[in-house]
């Protein structure tokens, strides 16, 4: 399934991921700049912060309390902020578009 990451400078990266992978895992495997994933996806570092494209917000959903707590440590948190390690790929998310923050810390 396809994922598009768009850097803050507008550079687009279209890559393929598999169902069950997190959007952070797909990004780090494909060396997408701007997603670090320092904690390995255990929802404790916030270096996988992304902005969900408005067209995808409903399908992706909102963060749970744990994620929300960690997100508060990220820079420039917005209404569409999510930790990409907490977004697991499903068929419904094929084609998802994520915007990358200018920096993670």
User: Do residues 68 and 74 make contact, with C-beta atoms less than 8 angstroms apart?
Assistant: no
CB 86 → ligand FES: shortest distance, Å? 7
For residues 35 and 24, give the distance between their C-alpha atoms in angstroms, rounded to a whole number: 7
Q: Which 8-state DSSP code applies to residue 87?
A: -
For residues 58 and 38, give the distance between their C-alpha atoms in angstroms, rounded to a whole number: 27
71 binds ligand FES (CB under 6 A): no
87 binds ligand FES (CB under 6 A): no
CB 84 → ligand FES: shortest distance, Å? 6
Residue numbers at the binding site for ligand FES (CB under 6 A): 24, 37-39, 41, 43-48, 70, 83, 85
């Amino acid at each position: 399934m396809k994922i598009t990451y768009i850097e803050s400078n507008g550079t687009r990266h279209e890559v393929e991921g598999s169902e069950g992978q997190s959007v952070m895992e797909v990004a780090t495997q494909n060396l997408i700049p701007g997603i670090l994933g320092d904690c390995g996806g255990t929802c404790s570092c916030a270096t996988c912060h992304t902005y969900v494209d408005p067209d995808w917000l409903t399908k992706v959903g909102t963060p749970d309390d744990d994620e929300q707590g960690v997100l508060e440590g990220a820079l420039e948190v917005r209404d569409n902020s999510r930790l990409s390690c907490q977004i697991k790929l499903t068929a419904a998310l094929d084609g998802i578009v994520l915007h990358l923050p200018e920096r993670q810390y």
